[in-house]
Structure formats: structure tokens, C-alpha cells
Structure 1
């Protein structure tokens, strides 16, 4: 049988990244936290935490922490089960969600604001490329994700939210320098490109669809949505930006669309556990309603 008191300590160490942080969170001494973790590891005959800066879970530790997260989520549906005398939950409900950086920089904060105020939950967000957020769900690192990957995930359901519209763009000076002879496959092969990171395949997919070529070797990797936009505005490369972020710069003439077929839609999905849980069901319903009504950010086709 699982020792949930011990698992709460393990979960705190993983969440805080250190024994000291877990001690502050739980009102214990670091030595008491270390002793409880070590004692439980000895009982299980397996390591749960890889000590370091930060501390990281082993595969077993990650699975057990994911289990604890689900148990706490289910407990939130049972009145007073996890409440203290003062009427507050012994453990605040914290949802670990993987979110693509562009959603995090555009529609997601506004979508979550009212729900957080009503429910009192806390978020632990993991920023990732939209095609890879779901990997955090598969690994057990998070409970839910905003993703562009519609592949099934064991134990989870997938709900389509809509799509995020992107536009291929660059600064006027950059267009004049690299596209003076038109938006041709050759010009795109010689013009520097900007990608979020080496897992970002958005620019490559757009080039393949519109030009039949791949991303050139001259690539700047900028793992920040705002930094990505700033690099384009500075004339250091071209790239695809969420239309909601680029719109004002396009109106001012500070950015120009590349060619006639410059839009690209990326479908977004909500992946969450198949739990009979009111909080998760309410959040799923809230996100679907928000996205259906917010046509300037995530559009329903």
C-alpha cells in the first residue's frame, strides 16, 4: 500500500526542486524531509529522486508524483476531506499543464484568469513547442496540455479547441535585402530564418507547403515568443508569428507578409486525464467555451 504522507514529501521535493524548498513548503526541516524520502526509498527498494540542482524524479518517482497529483485532484471533489479547521485545503490544488509558448503569450492567460479566480486552483506551467507539449503528458510530468498533436494518449482524452493563426513575415528592410526578386524558393533558401528552438518545425512546414523547400541552414534559434518577434522586427530573419501579436506591426508597416500565401493555421487541442472529476470537467468546458467565443485568437473552423 502506498504511503501518501511520504509521497507528499517526495512530491514537494520534485515540485520545489530541492529538499530545502520542500522543507519550507511543508513546514519541516531539510533533514526531516531527507530522512522521510530516504526511508520511503528504502521501503520501496528503489530511488525516487535523483539528487542534484535541481532534484529530479526517477521514472518511478515521476509516476508516483503523477499519481499523487491525481489523488489530490479527486479529493478536491469531496467536501471537507482535505480541509483544515480554518476551512482551507491542506494542500492547494495545483495543476501541472504544458502550454506552447505562443498560446502562453496570447490567449491562454486571459482564458485561465476567470477560472482560477472562481476555483482557487494554482498552476504549474511547462512552456514547450506546441508539437511537443503532449510528451510531458505521456511522461507523467504534467496532468494536461495544450498541444498541436492529436495522437491519442493513454488514459487521456483529447478535445479540439480551435486553431491559432500564424503569418509569415519580416521587416521591410529584410524583404528589400533578401526578396528583391520576389518570394521564390531560391530567395527563401538564402534568407536567414528564425525558429523558436531546434524542435520548432513551423517554418519548415510552411516552406514545404508554399515553396516546396526546407528551412535554410542560416537559422537563429530564439526560445522566447517576444524575443522571436523582436528579432524579426530588428531585421535579423523571417519567421511565422501569431497573427494576434503581429497585427499591429503589420498595420504600422513595421512588418510585411511574405508572398500571397502567408497564413498558416495550427490546430490546438486540450489533452486531459479521463477522470470523473468536476474540477477538470469544469476546466475543459471553460476552455472550450472561451475558445469558441474568442474568434480573434483561437478560431473555430
Structure 2
């Protein structure tokens, strides 16, 4: 049995675009033609490949075919590059990648910009928590991911990027209003005026979404029930930082988003141990110069933006 490559590519476009109509516009055919191609592929493989929801999604069998189509597109790009035929491509190759919100908002994009200057590529970025991006690799949705998972996903290889350190901060006015402590968090030492656990249990906290567990880890480390405080949910990295800086609540921010304000006195540290999140790059185990170029650019950027994995001192 063979998988017709043109039909596999059509399936990948349907999944990328989310609807048969949108896929038809991209492929410059009719929606009926797209539907017929998918039905033909399903009949040939004897598997249902698409759940016809809004947006459509791939079944497990469909995800395997989509992964094949994306691998072939990447290998085709790399082969044409070896021939010197990629200088003016009709359509750049699309690389779907997954990344956590804080990396996306701070250090991730400059690395991709350098790759795009040298290669005909466009990026299809999927944002998710670093604890969940590996799942997008497993499903074949993306070819590479920034993840907190050190164990390689099946069919992938992994390399460490560094550690993103988060510290609990708030505006001086918010900390005073809720009797929160002030201290230097980077060495784990508590300030002299340590607040009681009831202060942290009462003070509103800012969280990214309901899967964000950074603040919960911090509260548990201070002996506070993580479920106790009231919460603001702000599901965008820059807006999350803005909410903390505006005094809506306290939260854990990486240095990129807090150094200037801490130095100016617009934010204060709340003490307690910092939360370190090791980050890794995982990508499909393919011999692809383009995918390797992305990995190298990310590793270079991370080497200056993140803390080394073995470094614990401030």
C-alpha cells in the first residue's frame, strides 16, 4: 500500500487551514475537489483521517499522514536547497513550531528572524505552556518545540536551552496594601518583615490561565494553600506582566520583564525562593539543514537570554 503524496499534502492543508473551504482557497481548487481527495485517501488507507468539526481536526491516523506530508515538504526544501534552486521559491516552506508564551514574548523571535533572512521559510507558531508543547510534537502538529520535557518524544531528539528564572514581584503600593513581604528572592533569603501566610492567602494573584502552575508552586513553597488566593487570569505574556506592573496583583515574572522596573523601584521582590524552569528544544529526528538551522539559532539566542542549566547562583 502506498500513500499518494498529493493527497497527503491536501490533508495537511485541510488541517492547517481548519476548514475545507479555506483549504480549497489555498490550493486553488473547489471545496468539492478537496473533499473528494480526502475521501479517496481515507478509502485507500481504510481509516478515517479527519473529524469534520469546526475547525476540522486530524484523527490519530490522520495525524500520522499529516506528519508524513510535513516531513516530505521539509525534505523537498532541503533537497532543492542543495541544488541551489531555493533562491526564489514559489512558496516558502512552512515550519510549524511550538513555544511557551514567555519565550515567545522575549527571546524566541529574534532567532527565527535570523533564520528567515537566510532561508525561504515561514513559521506557523503554536503557543502553549511549556509543560504541554511536547504533546504537539507527539501529535505531529509541529516539527519542533520549546518544552520543559527533558525526555525525548518518540521520533525526536532534544537539546537543553537553559533556565528561565521567575521571581515573585508586585508594585510597592500593592505589597504595602496587602502586607506582603519585601525581600531579595534570588538567593532564597527571606526579608526581615516576612508576611504571614494569611497575607499571601488574601492577596490577589495574576495567573496566565488555569493551567499556569508557577504561582501555585511558589505559594506551596511558602506554606500557603495554592487554591486560597483570588485570581486574575491574563492569557498573554506582555499583558500578564502589565497587569502585575499596574498593581492588579502579584505574580512571577522572568528577568526580561522585571529588571528595569525592579531597578527603578516600580516593582519590589516579595522574597521566597525563585522558580526555575529548565527549557529544552525538541525536534523531529530528521537530517534537515533547515530544521537544524532553526535549532542552532535558538540555542545561540538562548545562550545569552537564559541562565545556563547548571547555574544556580544569581
Fold shared by both chains (TM-score > 0.5): yes
Q: Which residue of 1 aligns with 2:171?
A: 171
Whether contact under 8 Å (2:207, 2:233) holds in the other structure is yes
1:248 deviates by 2.2
- Structure 2 residue runs without a partner (length 5+): 181-192
Shift in Å, 1:40: 1.9
Shift of 1:99: 0.3
2:289 is aligned with 1:285: no
Deviation at 1:47, TM superposition (A): 2.0
Distance 1:172 1:43, change over 3 A: same
Distance change >3 Å, CA 82–CA 185, structure 1 → 2: farther
1:202–1:131 distance in 2 versus 1, CA, 3 Å:
same
Verify the 8 A CA contact 2:87 2:120 in the aligned structure 1: no
Show the 5 A alignment for 1:206-221. Answer: 206-209=218-221, 211-217=222-228, 218-221=230-233
Secondary structure (helix, strand or coil) at the match of 2:29 reads coil
2:114–2:297 Cα contact (<8 Å) kept: no
> 1:14 matched to which residue of 2?
15
- C-alpha distance 213-150 of structure 1, shift in aligned 2 (>3 A): farther
The 5-angstrom pairing of residues 96-107 of structure 1 reads 96-107=96-107
Find the aligned partners of 1:273 and 1:125 in 2 and give their Cα distance: 16
For 1:270 and 1:33, the matched residues in 2 are separated by: 35
Alignment of 1:262-273 (within 5 A): 263-273=274-284
- Note if contact 2:99-2:133 (Cα within 8 Å) is conserved in structure 1: yes
The structure-2 alpha-carbon separation of the partners of 1:37 and 1:184, relative to structure 1 and needing over 3 Å to count, comes to same
Structure 1 residue 88 displacement after superposition:
4.5
| Contact 2:208-2:235 at 8 Å conserved across structures | yes
Indicate the SS of the match to 2:219. Answer: helix
Q: Distance in 1 between matches of 2:97 and 2:268?
A: 34
Residue in 2 that maps onto 1:258: 270
From 225, 233, 237, the equivalent of 1:225 is 237
Structure 1 residue 283 displacement after superposition: 2.0
Question: SS at the partner of 1:77?
Answer: helix
Return 218-227 or 110-119, whichever deviates more. 218-227
In structure 2, the partner of 1:64 is 65
**Residues 81 and 20 of structure 1, relative CA distance in 2, 3 Å threshold:** farther
Q: CA deviation at 1:89?
A: 4.2
| Deviations 1:225-247, CA, capped at 9 Å, x for gaps | 12212221232221101211122
Measure the CA separation in 2 of the matches of 1:17 and 1:88. 28
Partners of 2:45 and 2:226 in 1: CA distance: 49
Query: Quick one: distance in 1 between partners of 2:256 and 2:268?
Result: 15
Q: Is the 8 A contact 1:171 1:232 kept in 2?
A: yes
User: Retained in 1: the 8 A contact 2:172–2:266?
Assistant: yes
Distance 1:46 1:81 in 2: 36
Q: Which residue of 2 aligns with 1:128?
A: 128
**TM-score in terms of structure 2 length:** 0.86
Counterpart selection for 1:245 from 239, 257, 260:
257
Cα RMSD over matched residues?
2.3
2:165 aligns to what SS in structure 1?
strand
Give me the whole-angstrom Cα distance separating, in 2, the residues matched to 1:221 and 1:193. Answer: 9
Match of 1:76 in 2: 77
**What is the SS of the residue equivalent to 2:79?**
coil
TM superposition score normalised by structure 1 = 0.90
Query: Which of the numbers 204, 209, 218 marks the counterpart of 1:192?
Result: 204
Unaligned 5+ segments in structure 1 are none
Runs of 4+ aligned structure 1 residues displaced above 6 Å come to 80-84
Q: Distance in 1 between matches of 2:248 and 2:233?
A: 11
Task: State the Cα distance separating 1:83 from its structure 2 match.
Answer: 9.8
Distance 2:87 2:119 in 1: 15
